[in-house]
A and B are shown apart, each in its own frame.
Chain A
Amino acid sequence: QITLKESGPALVKPTQTLTLTCSFSGFSLTTSGEGVGWIRQPPGKALEWLAVIYWNDDKSYSPSLRSRLTITKDTSKDQVVLAMTNMDPVDTATYFCANLGRSWYIRDWGQGTLVTVSS
């Protein structure tokens, strides 16, 4: 059974850097084809894909947010970390991590964590 759980601050100030951790079980990022991605959803709005990292350290970022995002993995801890710089109130959203395999659709999601950007 695959599980994922996001953790990080619930509140960040404008201009700060947000760091979110995805802790997962049921698969390994040392296994060929496995990946972990991040998706966000502002309150009442649609889903937006942010970034993905794969077992071989290949990464892909949303073009509109590429300059602000960094995704890394720690295979010894079964964790993936997403950093987003220069946070703004428009970045207020629920942030989900998810298991992305070779197929790129998402069966397994974390529960999501709400991040509010406010001074």
Chain B
Amino acid sequence: DIQMTQSPSTLSASVGDRVTLTCRASQSISSWLAWYQQKPGKAPKLLMFKASTLDRGVPSRFSGSGFGTEFTLTISGLQPEDFATYYCQQYNNYPLTFGGGTKVETK
């Protein structure tokens, strides 16, 4: 199985901040990485796929980068609605695996 490791597990930030979340894969997954945002009591929402392609309707303040084993999700200008938990997921092969999540909380 491909292990996905996210860091940090918690990130404290303020509205307007630029924040960067990291996701590492235990082996190369090319660009087959997705990012999700999840709020309490809700299903995850797809933000990005193929490491850097924004899903439809996702604000442009979200951006993704990376290839192989190291990936980042950046939020440029954090908005109140962005405080949530973010998960990465590899879909290079089965079993699909998710990272442990990064919770973005209010500083």
Contacts and interface: CB of A to CB of B under 8 A. Distances in A.
Interface string B45-75: 0100100000100000000000000000000
A83 interface: no
Contacts of A111: 42-43
Give the bracket for the number of chain A residues in contact with chain B: 20 to 34
Chain B interface main SS type: loop
Interface stretch (A12-20, A21-29, A71-79, A101-109): A101-109
A47 B46 contact: no
Contacts of A52: 94, 96
Interface in B58-107: 87, 89, 91, 94-101
A109 B32 CA distance: 19
Nearest to A100: B96
A46 B34 contact: no
9 contacts: A46-B98, A49-B95, A49-B98, A60-B94, A60-B95, A104-B91, A104-B96, A107-B46, A107-B55
Interface of B: 1, 32, 34, 36, 42-44, 46, 49, 55, 87, 89, 91, 94-101
Interface of A: 37, 39, 46-49, 52, 60-63, 96, 103-107, 109-112
